Amino acid sequence: MKEIIKAIEKAAKRIKKAIEFSDTGYSEHTNKTGDVQLKLDIASDLIIEEEFKKVASIKTIISEEKEEATLLHESGRYIVGYDPLDGSSLIDVNLSVGSIFGIYEQGINGSDLLGAIYIVYGPRTEMVVALEGVTLYRLDESGEFIKVKDIKLNQKGKINATGATQKGWAAYHKKLVDAIFADGYRLRYSGGMVPDLHQILLKGGGLFSYPSTSDAPKGKLRLVFEVFPFAFVFEKAGGRAIDGKKNLLSLQPQHPHDTSPCFFGSNEEIGRVLDEYARE
């Protein structure tokens, strides 16, 4: 596990440089989800693969940018699922983006996850590692990730991060969101899952929702690369992560690119989601 984290640190430093100085235009390729890939999506994917190839304990890698899993080391133990550059469409407006990693063993169900790591490329570059607990690291002047603090969510927060187009929301979802705002919560939503969830984690709590919509009943965010890793982080930080009814980490994808509606937050807000969704 340690060498995987080291490889992620190396990849993160290279991706940070690529974001700052290389071409931010579109490529001529489309990924599995149908998104036209940015040159930076492809470059980040290549950087991570290069670093992971050097780690003998990694058996297989599965990237959001690739259709199929890639076998790296037959005798390896871990499967790493990752989104190399989440929120990359925000780069042209210079907002924060991230890389997300889930470290699995045996399979790619939520229950196979052993650890989750994400990087935020913002005004500063930060790394959050969730194993038994959740720890925040920051890249310092010497080029090393230094521990800043452990992250623990409060029982209740103040942020309401509401994803997906309102036009496609179910009436019960709108009712839930309106009720939370009516209680004084503030809207915070950049459209980048990494910075949006990072904000909730560091400001003590709140709710991030990406529900089922009329045009995408299974939501948008991918289980293996995005949803499971963040569900793991939130649970280890003392919060919860659900699909509206069930814990996200109890889900079993049929395909590595499967998506799910998802809600991440502190206990009180997740309790409100469960109450409202039980009545739907």
Nearer to ligand AHM, 32 or 73 (CB): 32
Task: Tell the smallest beta-carbon distance from residue 64 to Mg ion (Å).
Answer: 6
Chosen from ligand AHM, Mg ion, none, partner binding at 276 (C-beta under 5 to 8 Å by type): none
139 binds, among Mg ion, ligand AHM, none (CB under 5 to 8 A by kind): none
83 counts as binding Mg ion under rule CB under 5 A: yes
How many CA atoms lie less than 13 Å away from 240 in the CB half-sphere? 18
Burial of 31 (C-beta count, 10 Å sphere; 0-12/13-18/19+) = middle
Residues making contact with ligand AHM (CB under 6 A): 35, 83, 86-88, 163-164, 191-193, 220
Q: 3-state class of 159 per DSSP?
A: strand
**Judged by CB under 5 A, does residue 45 bind Mg ion?**
no
The option from Mg ion, ligand AHM, none interacting with 242 (CB < 5 to 8 A, set by class) reads: none
Residue 162 contact, options Mg ion, ligand AHM, none, Cβ 5-8 Å cut-off depending on partner type: none
CA-closest candidate to residue 273, choices 158, 197, 179: 179
Give kind and range of the element (H or E) at residue 105: strand 97-105
Q: How far apart are CA 160 and CA 233, in angstroms?
A: 18
CB of 83 to Mg ion, least distance (A): 4
- H/E segment holding residue 180: helix 171-182
Minimum CB–partner distance for residue 97 and ligand AHM (Å): 8
Residue in the shown chain whose Cβ atom is closest to ligand AHM: 193
Which CB atom, from 222 or from 240, has the smaller least distance to Mg ion? 222
Smallest gap from residue 118 Cβ to Mg ion (A): 11
**Contact in structure between 113 and 130 (CB atoms under 8 Å):** no
Task: Give least dist CB 73 to ligand AHM, A.
Answer: 27
Pick from 230, 237, 226, 86: nearest CA to 149: 237
